[in-house]
Amino acid sequence: MAKLSQSAIKARADEWALVKSKIQTAQTAKDAALAPIVERHEDEMRIASAKHDRKIETLQAEADALETEVLGWLNTQAGDVMVSGERAVAEKKTETKIGQRIVDVKKFLETAKSKGEAMWDCVSVAVAKAEKLIGKSELDAISTKKETVSTSTTLRLK
C-alpha cells in the first residue's frame, strides 16, 4: 500500500462516500425501473434487474476497494485517529472495557471481620453482598477490575 497522508485518507474516504451515494442512486433507479415491470411480468423484471445489478456490482467493488484501502491505512496508525471529510469519517478508536471486580478474599475477610458473624454470608464473596457489608469504597480498595482493550476502525457516512 502506498504511503498515505491524513489529507489523502480524507479524500479517499470522501470518494468512498460518493461511490456509496452513487450505489444508493443506482439502487433507487433500479427499484423505480422495476416497479411497473413487476406488475407485468417476471421475465421483463429479470432483464431490468440484470442491467442495474451490473452497475451496482461494479460500484460496490469500487467502494469495497476504497474501504479496504482506508481501513488498511487506519490499522497502520499507532494511535487513535479520526479523519473527517465532507462526506465520510474514517476513524480508529481504542476503548478500554472494565470487567467485573474480583475481590481478594483474604483482604475482604480482614476488612469485614469487625462486622462479626455477618461476614460469613459473603464468604463466596458475592460482590453485591460484600459491598453492602463493608461499603463500596472499602470493597473497591481490595478489589481489582479486569481491563480489556479493543481497537476498532470504521468508515461511515456522515
Q: What is the pLDDT of residues 86-128, one digit of tens each?
A: 999 999 999 999 999 999 988 998 999 899 999 888 877 789 9
CA dist 36 and 73 (Å) reads 45
CA dist 51 and 58 (Å) reads 12
* Residue among 76, 54, 62 at smallest CA distance from 17: 62
pLDDT, greater one: 41 or 136: 136
The owner of cell 422495476 is: 34
pLDDT at position 7, please? 92
What average pLDDT does this structure show over 53-67? 95
- Summarised one tens digit per residue, pLDDT across range 44-58 is 778 888 989 999 999
Quick check: 85 and 10 in contact, CB under 8 A? yes
Q: How many CB atoms lie within 10 A of CB 139?
A: 23
Quick check: 6 and 81 in contact, CB under 8 A? yes
Confidence of residue 1 (pLDDT cuts 50, 70, 90): low
Residue 41's alpha-carbon distances to 30, 33, 35, 44, in angstroms, are 16, 13, 11, 6
CA dist 83 and 71 (Å) reads 11
For the entire predicted model, the pTM comes to 0.48
pLDDT at position 120, please? 86
Confidence of residue 3 (pLDDT cuts 50, 70, 90): confident
pLDDT at position 42, please? 82
The owner of cell 491524513 is: 6
Sign of the C-alpha dihedral computed for residues 18, 23, 27 and 33 taken in this order: positive
Q: What percent of the chain is predicted at pLDDT more than 90? A: 66
Q: What is the mean pLDDT of the chain?
A: 91
CA dist 29 and 22 (Å) reads 10
